[in-house]
Structure 1
Amino acid sequence: MRDPIDIRAWQRLDSETTTSGRIEDKDVARLGALGVAHVINLALETHPEALAAEGDKLKAHGIAYTHIPVPFDAPGEAHFAAFRQAIEDGPRPVHVHCIMNWRVSAFFYRLNRDHRGMPEPNARRVMERQWSPDGIERPEAKVWAEFIARRDT
């Protein structure tokens, strides 16, 4: 099966990692057909575009599910640590999503830069395929700029 590029902000990072914005009911079976073994969701389940009962629907297709609800106005280090652990310890292939693929791209930026040895300009290019907090006119932009500027030691 080919990558379902009609899923919002779909992106393949490597042979075992894909990301996107929100997923819909029709996407659950498609992720399974792609061989996705684990879905990590960084969106709040209360968001109007969140897929209701997402974890149950994925489990019904044999896909592991990790939900790390990251408030868009308050991403924190505990969220990033949980994300990193889910990426490192969870089954593969993995699909990571939120609503717009903004949270996800920022989290992968830090993971790629600080833990995977990717040079900063390359990690930034990967993030900016989806967004950059420098390029939006929202109050949360400053919070996200500060989040991605943090360095893990």
Structure 2
Amino acid sequence: MSAGPSDPADIRAWQRLDERTTTSGRIVAGDVPRLAALGVAHVINLALADHPEALPDEAAMFAAAGIAYSHIPVPFDAPDETHLAALRTALREGPQPVHVHCILNWRVSAFFYRLHRERGMAEPEARALMAQIWEPETSANPHAAAWAGFVGRAG
């Protein structure tokens, strides 16, 4: 699904999945009020806090904007089922609309591929959404095999 007319498509790897769910790569300080203006009620971050492109004090910045915040740090070389379970819980229990991000939107797109498949989305449709961001099976990234395996566990 493409960005809506008021979506900040200049945020790295922005993707609107539905009316209640958006995703992206890294967030910068100026994006916090932009997400608030869109009505985002909850931000979930899958990136590691010590990544060089991570936004320092991200949780505090979103709290100051009145946005709930969840951090589920997913090591890029080792995504696992506990991370997916934590994301399921955060999505189910947190307020909506939600914005989920990491650094490049690679983690997020792979996780949503799995979620889409669990929720009954046809494989080609789920694959096409992920492929708008990246394709772990064909990526030259040294950790892509871990992600191809993670994606391959979809039912």
2:154 corresponding residue in structure 1: 151
What's the TM-score once normalised by structure 1's chain length? 0.96
Return the match for 2:30 from 22, 26, 30: 26
Q: How does 1:5-24 map to 2 (within 5 A)?
A: 5-24=9-28
Return the match for 1:51 from 55, 62, 69: 55
**Root-mean-square deviation (CA), in Å?**
1.0
1:137 corresponding residue in structure 2: 140
Letter aligned with residue 47 of structure 2: A
Q: CA deviation at 1:138?
A: 2.0
Return the match for 2:84 from 77, 80, 83: 80
What's the TM-score once normalised by structure 2's chain length? 0.95
Counterparts of 1:127 and 1:103, CA distance in 2: 10
2:101 corresponding residue in structure 1: 97
Letter aligned with residue 68 of structure 2: A
Letter aligned with residue 143 of structure 1: A
Q: How many residues align?
A: 151
Deviations 1:33-77 (A, max 9, x none): 000000000000000000001000000000000000000000011
- Name the SS of the counterpart of 2:78 in structure 1: coil
- Name the SS of the counterpart of 1:25 in structure 2: coil
Deviations 1:72-124 (A, max 9, x none): 0000110010011111111100000000000000000000001x110111111
Q: CA deviation at 1:2?
A: 1.0
- Name the SS of the counterpart of 1:127 in structure 2: helix
% same residue: 64
Q: Does 1:37 align with 2:12?
A: no
- Name the SS of the counterpart of 1:66 in structure 2: strand
Q: CA deviation at 1:151?
A: 3.4
1:124 corresponding residue in structure 2: 127
Counterparts of 1:3 and 1:121, CA distance in 2: 25
- Name the SS of the counterpart of 1:106 in structure 2: helix
- Name the SS of the counterpart of 1:65 in structure 2: strand
